[in-house]
Amino acid sequence: MLTIYASVALAATNKGEYGYNPKPIRIVNGYRESPPEIAEPSASLSVSNTQFNFTIQPNPANDIVQLIFNNELPTLIEISDLTGKVLFSKAVQNSNNISVNLFDFATGFYLVKALNGVNESKIEKLVILK
């Protein structure tokens, strides 16, 4: 495969004139490819002093799992499939060990999301084998 990189190129404007194009071009096997667009960075970061975390036991599971929380108590538990469809949701109060019956769940991969009282969340993978 022949690949050619060029950092400066002339591009035709809509009036048929040529002007400076600062985007590099890439030519692969005689075809021009545009470089990937890079999005402007924009993100917000919130710093928390808590270590909101939990474990799933057993994992893989087949009938019942225990969600065991370390420091913070959860307020909401959700289990969803990989498409994002929420299959189980439960509000929780004052418990750091929660049992979930998996009788209605099919074999597969699921995501367990837990939220605490200050809207921090943690997601863990759950594997169900029946």
pLDDT (0 to 100) of residue 107: 94
Give burial (CB, 10 Å; 0-12/13-18/19+) of 105: buried
Alpha-carbon gap, residue 7 to 26, rounded angstroms: 9
- Residue 14 pLDDT level (bands cut at 50, 70, 90): very low
Residue type, 39: A
Separation of CA 13 from chain center = 40
**Contact of 61 with 128, CB cutoff 8 Å:** yes
Domains recognised in the chain with CATH numbers: 3-33 (no CATH), 54-128 (2.60.40.3080)
Compute the average pLDDT of residues 72-95: 87
CB atoms inside a 10 Å sphere around CB 124? 15
Q: Which residue has the higher pLDDT, 13 or 64?
A: 64
Alpha-carbon gap, residue 42 to 32, rounded angstroms: 30
Separation of CA 67 from chain center = 21
Could you tell me which of 12, 16, 38, 36 has the C-alpha nearest to residue 26?
36
Compute the average pLDDT of residues 86-92: 91
